[in-house]
Every structure is written in structure tokens, then in C-alpha cells.
Amino acid sequence: MDSDKLLEEIDKRVEEERQAYRGPHCCMTMHYELLSEGSLLVYNAQWCEYGIKLHKPENTYLLMYYCTDCGTKLPDSLKNIWFETLHENYSIIDPINKDKKLIPQKFLTDEWWNPDKTFNVYQGNQEVSRNIKIKGNITHCCSALNYELLDKNSILMYSPKYREYNIKLPNFSGGAAMDYCVFCGQQFPLSVRCEWFDILREEYCLESPCEEDKKKVPKEFLVDEWWKKRGL
């Protein structure tokens, strides 16, 4: 079997596995991302929350409402219900600090809300309603993402010249690509990174626009002007 056929066969098997996936999370990509040692994502079973890890402070995360890989609506956080239940049923006022040792063991995991382990986050890749009303001067898919990207300390970033949405990587200038918005579930447009390099090479003879030929790159290619002008 030649390399092309081998790759085709591997892609076919991966797609079959992806289609057959039935939890415990929304998709196979999320599943293996959470299992990886250096994962950028986190699942907090205690509150049934999915998040993107923040670089600082440690053990904190940006709450996700939709999966960045498949666009599935993630379950609502149970954090407030957790606090309310401890207060009403156990008279615990401050479970995060001074009353921490009084918390029943089951409330430290998902046992308190999922005792039989029957709940499954998997939603069969159902189509999610995305009737998000955008008001005002919104540059991106929703106001939540718009405001998040305005924050210089955000874990999320947008590259106008490549039309890419990414999660920042620690100690690295690049990022991990996102296919869907974490706030509204809208699918992002395709990246134009390859077109960026192709056009600079074919129309401007720039073989190394990120290194040796960096100073020769026209200004329109440093922002989103080039792909908007070409209707990409």
C-alpha cells in the first residue's frame, strides 16, 4: 500500500471512530484533548464545567459554553447549585475557604449530581440553535467574544491577516486553532494562512515572508485588507 492510500485509510478509520463516539464528552477530539498531558482544556466534574486553562493564576480557566472542536452546546455549569445545596442542606456558608473541611466527600466530585454515573455529556452531534442576536458594532461572531478579544490578557486571540481564532500557548507566540466560538457556538470562517503564503510567493516572489523577506511584505498583508479585497 502506497503512502497516499495509507493516509486515506487512516483518515477513513479516524472518521469512523469519530462518528461512532458516544461519550462521555461531546466529541472524540474533546475526549482525547482532555486525556493529553499538556491539554489546554479542562473538565471540572465537580461543577460539570468545561474550560480553557489560564496561564495565571494557576488552576483557573475560562468557562466554555460550546466545544471549540465540534460546536456542541456544553452542559450548564452546576457551580451555583453546588453552593446553594451546601448552604441549604448542610449550613455551609463558605465552602471555598473557612468551611472547606466541612464539605461532604461526594461534593468534591460529580457524585453529588451524578450518583449513578448515568449522565453523559455526549449529545449526538445534534445541531445547536445559533440564533444569536448581535447588537452594536460587533467585529466577531458575538458580543462575548468581541469583548474577550479586547482584553489584552485574554487566553484567546485573533489573527486578522490569517483570519484565525486561537488559544494562546504558554511561552510560545503561536496558538491552538479553534473551529467554533466558546461563547455562542458559531463556526469560524476557514483560515486563509495558506492563501497568504501562496499569493505572496506567486504575485510578489516572496519565498520567505516570515523571515528573510519579512520587510518586503506589503502593508495590506499585515492585516485583513488583502483577503477582504480579494473576496476570500
The string of pLDDT tens digits covering residues 19-70 is 888 888 999 999 999 999 889 999 999 999 999 999 888 889 999 999 999 9
Q: What is the spatial order of strands in the sheet that 49-53 belongs to?
A: 41-44, 49-53, 61-64
Q: What are the Cα distances from residue 32, in Å, to 16, 23, 77, 137, 205?
A: 16, 11, 22, 37, 41
DSSP state of 158: E
Nearest 5°: the CA angle 76, 184, 127 is 80
67 with 180: CB under 8 angstroms? yes
Residue carrying the nine cell digits 516572496: 206
Predicted TM-score of the model (pTM)? 0.83
Q: For residue 219, count other CB atoms closer than 10 A to its CB.
A: 8
Phi/psi zone of residue 99: left (φ > 0), alpha (ψ -120 to 50 degrees), beta? alpha
Q: Which residues contact 68 (CB under 8 A, 6 or more apart)?
A: 41, 52, 167, 178, 179, 180, 181, 182
Q: Give 158-187 pLDDT, tens digit per residue.
A: 999 999 999 998 877 778 999 999 999 999
pLDDT classification of 103: cutoffs 50, 70, 90 = very high
* Short-list 197, 195, 225, 192, CA closest to 211: 197
Q: Please write the tens of the pLDDT for every residue from 43-54.
A: 999 999 999 999
**pLDDT reported for residue 92:** 95
Domain residue spans of the chain: 80-108, 192-232
In this predicted structure, the answer to whether residue 135 has a pLDDT above a threshold of 60 is no
Whole-number pLDDT of residue 127? 43
Cell of 118: 448515568
Q: How far apart, in whole angstroms, are the C-alpha atoms of residue 146 and residue 134?
A: 10
Q: Which three cell numbers stand for residue 159?
A: 489573527
